[in-house]
Amino acid sequence: MEWTGARYADKPTVEVHTWIAAPAARVWTLIADIELMPRLSSELQSVEWLDGRSGPAPGARFIGRSKHEAFGEWATTSHIVEYEPSRTLAWAVEDPQHPSAIWRFSLAPQDGGTLLTEWMQMGPGRSGLSFAIERMPEKEQKIVFVRMREFEANMTVTLEKIKKLAESAESAGGTEGTGTSGEADL
């Protein structure tokens, strides 16, 4: 990621992608399993569906608990705002009309496999980063840039792990569940 000079109010975005040697349906089972995500992330610690839900659907909500060395621990409520099986899954963090972030996975068939893209937008709603910016407004652009680079690095690792899981299941000939032998290597 190159320096953009973006401020929080600019709603900066970051996007990473990887090609996976597996069909979109297999990749979808992994990204739609929101409860799997803490095992793929160094920051996200746990996820819990709300309102009796057990999986994604339009309007479904979940609590995510996160931890970061500089920001401490926190919990947020996310709302599924895009849901198209085997194609798109997106959620808005906190207020869907004025989210602190939006996260999206997109899948597209490509060259006999799947192109998986993870995208996120920071803001416009307040987040933990807002407090750091208020304490050091003269460093806002640097604060935003450093956090976006962290997101980019973490998202890259997440996609690498999803790729490994999807491809190990494919090589084993299985497409059911997420209990692949490759999971222990994460």
Tens of pLDDT, residues 25-72: 999 999 999 999 999 988 899 999 999 999 999 999 999 999 988 778
Q: Reduced to 3 states, what is the DSSP secondary structure of residue 22?
A: coil
Average pLDDT over residues 10-14: 95
d(C-alpha 79, C-alpha 51), whole Å: 12
Those residues with Cβ within 8 angstroms of residue 7's Cβ, 6 or more apart along the chain or in another chain? 140, 141, 144
Among 129, 63, 52, 133, CA closest to 93 = 63
DSSP string computed for 38-56? GGG-SSEEEEEE-TT--S-
